[in-house]
Amino acid sequence: MADFDGARIVIAGGSGFLGISLATYFVANGAAVSLISRSALKRPGEWKHYLWDGRSLSDWSKEIDGADAVINLAG
């Protein structure tokens, strides 16, 4: 099993099945996960969620700065 203790991971387009599955895995292995999406989450979890309207910067942009990994699942 991987060890992501202290890692900060951002998943863009993370509100669907694949994003939630990845977030669940990373959180279970010690990472702090932030999901960025245009829609509400279908399932709550131990991660942060930021809505993105596709036009403006908001608090989600601060999550990317200094992240250990950014996974882009946005279509």
Cα 51 from Cα 68, distance rounded (Å): 21
pLDDT at 1: 58
Q: Which of 27, 26, 36 lies closest to 59, judged by CA?
A: 36
Cα 9 from Cα 53, distance rounded (Å): 21
User: Is residue 42 scored above 90 in pLDDT?
Assistant: no
For 49-53, the CB contacts below 8 A with 24+ separation are 49/15, 52/12
Q: Which of 65, 33, 67, 28 lies closest to 50, judged by CA?
A: 33
- Look up residue 23 and give its DSSP letter: H
Please provide the average confidence, as pLDDT, over all residues in the chain.
89
Q: pTM here?
A: 0.88
